[in-house]
Structure 1
Amino acid sequence: MPEFDESVDISRPNPARMYDYYLGGAHNFAVDREAADRVLAILPETREFAMRNREFLQRVVRFLAGEVGITQFLDLGSGIPTVGNVHEVAQAAHPNNRVVYVDHEPVAVAQSQRLLADNPYAAVIHADIRDHEKVLNHPETLRLLDFSKPVAVLMLQVLPFIPDADDPAQVVAGYRDVCVSGSYLALAHSLSFDYWPGAVAEAVEMYTKSTHPLNLRTPDQVAAFFDGYDLVEPGVVFTAVWRPERPVADDEAIGSRAVAGLGRLS
C-alpha cells in the first residue's frame, strides 16, 4: 500500500491509481482496486488498453529522443511511475535528457518524487495541467526546460479527464503557444463508445463516481487537438499501430480502444 497524507482522497477511486492497478502496479488503494475490478468485469479489454498505451509512450519517446534528437520532455498528466517511464526511455538515449512530469494526484507526485530523488535531470510538479501559468512558471520547469529550444509535450490519456466545458483544445494550445518550431506534441486518447465492445457505457458511468469522470471522443475530435502541428506519419491511428516494432493484426489494432499521434510544430 502506498504512503499518503491527509491531502489524499481515499474515499473515492482515482483514475491514475486505477490505471496503475491495470498495469500491475502497487501504488493504489482498496477503493481503486475495487472500482478497477468492476470495470474489468464489464470490460476485460481495459487492461489491454492500458498496456497498449504504455507501449506507445515508450515507442514515441524512443523515437523523439533517438531518431529526432529531442532533449526536453514535458509529460502532462504523467500518472504514477512504472517501469519504462519517460525519463528512463529518454535518458537511455542520452543521460542528460531532461524531463518534467506534471500531475495533480498526490500519490502519483509522491511516488515520482521518491523515484526521481537522485536524478538531477528529471522532476515532478504537483499541478493541474489546465493551469498553464503554474506549470510553465514552476521552479522545476524553469530549472529543467528551455522553451527557446524544442520541447516534446506529452499528453497521453490525460485529455479524456478534461470535459468539453473546460475546452481541452485550449489546454493543448496553451502549451503549443510557448513552444518553438521543431517542438512536438504526442497525444493518446480513449475512443468513443462505438469503438468499444459490450457495456462500455456502464463502465464509463463508474468513472463518474471517481475523482475525475471520463470523456470519450472520436478519432476526428482527437485529430483536431493537433491544430497548428504537422502530423508525423502514420498520423492519428490506433495506438497499437503507431510505428509498431512488430506486425499488428487488425483485431489487435482495434483492441487499442484509443488513437494516438505525434505532431511537429513548424
Structure 2
Amino acid sequence: MPIPGDTAGAIDTSRPSLARVYDFALGGKDNFAVDRELNRMLNREVPDANALARTSRAFLIRAVRFLAVEAGIDQYLDCGSGLPTAENTHQVAQRAVPESRVVYVDNDPAVAAHSRALLADNDRSHFLGADVFQPELLLADPLVRGALDFSRPLGLLHVGTLHHYDEAAGGRPVAEIMGEYLAALPSGSFLAFSHFFDPEDEHSGPARRLQELLGSGMGSGFFRTRAQLEPVLAGLDLLEPGLVVADEWWPDGPRLTPLSAVGHCVIAAVARKP
C-alpha cells in the first residue's frame, strides 16, 4: 500500500528511467534493455558519457565522508537518491558516525522498491517517494520531520538532481527551488551539490550534444553555465575549492590520466549555511 505522499507506482519497463540508466552506467544490474540501449546510444554519440554518472557518484561519496568525519554531521536528506549501489549515503555516513540518520527521497518506482528492501533492517535510514522539485511538500512530510531534527545542522544532498528540472516547463528557476530547501535548514547545515555543466570552452561541445540527446531520449538533462548555477548557492559559504569540476573537489589522490571531455561537464560544491 502506498504511503501518504508516496509517488511510487508501477515500474514501466517500456521507457528508459533516469535512475536505471545511471545504474547501468555505474555497473549495476537493476536496469532493463531499454535503459541499456539508451546508455549505449549516449556513449556512441559522446565518448565516455558514463563519466556523468561516475563523477557524480564519486563526489557524493567524498562529500558525505567529509561531512561525517570533518563536519560532524549525523543526519542527511538525500534528494534524488537513485538506485542503491555500492557506498550509499547511509553506509558512508554510518561507517564514520554509526548513529547517523538518513532519509532518501526519489520518485522512481524502481528506486522505491530497491531502497526499501535495502533499508529494511536499518532503523536509522528511511525512504520517501516524493518529488524533489516540490520542496514545500517534501519538507513537511511526517517521515522527514520524524526522522530528522531540524533544530540541529544536517546535510542536504542535491547531487545530480536539479539538472533534470526544466525551468521553462516548471515555471520557476532552480535557484528558487533550492532556496526553499535552504530556508528550512538550521544554521551550520551543509549542502552537497552537483549539476551537469556547460563550461563554455572547448568542452562545451559534449555538454551541448548530451543535452540534446537527453532531451530527446528522457525529457531532461540541462547543462547549465556557471553564471546560471551560482545563484543556486547564493547566501552560502562555499568550502574550498569552491564550485569546481566534480573530479577536482578534494580528489582521493593525484590524477594519473587526463580528465575526459565529459568529465569537465559535471560541476560540484559543498557549502555551509551561516
- How high is the TM-score relative to the length of structure 2? 0.89
User: For each residue in 1:183-233, what CA deviation from the matched residue of structure 2 results, as whole angstroms up to 9, or x when unmatched?
Assistant: 011100111274647665444333224444111101232222111111011
1:147 aligns with 2:150: yes
**Aligned residue among 187, 193, 196 for 1:181:** 187
User: For each residue in 1:116-158, what CA deviation from the matched residue of structure 2 results, as whole angstroms up to 9, or x when unmatched?
Assistant: 0100001111000122233112232122101111111111111
SS at match of 1:233: coil
SS at match of 1:259: strand
1:116 aligns with 2:119: yes
**Aligned residue among 215, 224, 227 for 2:231:** 224
* Alpha-carbon distance, 1:11 to partner: 2.5
CA distance in 2, matches of 1:9, 1:22: 19
1:168 aligns with 2:174: yes
1:99 aligns with 2:102: yes
1:250/1:180 Cα in 2 relative to 1: closer, same or farther (>3 Å)? Answer: farther
SS at match of 2:50: helix
**Partner in structure 1 of residue 245 of structure 2:** 238
* Alpha-carbon distance, 1:49 to partner: 2.8
CA distance in 2, matches of 1:197, 1:259: 13
1:22 aligns with 2:9: no
**Partner in structure 2 of residue 34 of structure 1:** 37
User: For each residue in 1:10-48, what CA deviation from the matched residue of structure 2 results, as whole angstroms up to 9, or x when unmatched?
Assistant: 222121111111001111111111111100111222222
- How high is the TM-score relative to the length of structure 1? 0.92
For the 8 Å contact 1:17–1:29, the answer to whether it is kept is: yes
For the 8 Å contact 2:75–2:102, the answer to whether it is kept is: yes
For the 8 Å contact 2:196–2:221, the answer to whether it is kept is: no
Runs of 4+ in structure 1 off by over 6 angstroms are: none
Q: Which consecutive residues of structure 2, in runs of 5 or more, have no partner in the other structure?
A: 1-7
**Partner in structure 2 of residue 65 of structure 1:** 68
* Alpha-carbon distance, 1:7 to partner: 2.0
Percentage of matched positions with identical amino acids = 38
CA distance in 2, matches of 1:6, 1:117: 19
**Partner in structure 1 of residue 3 of structure 2:** none
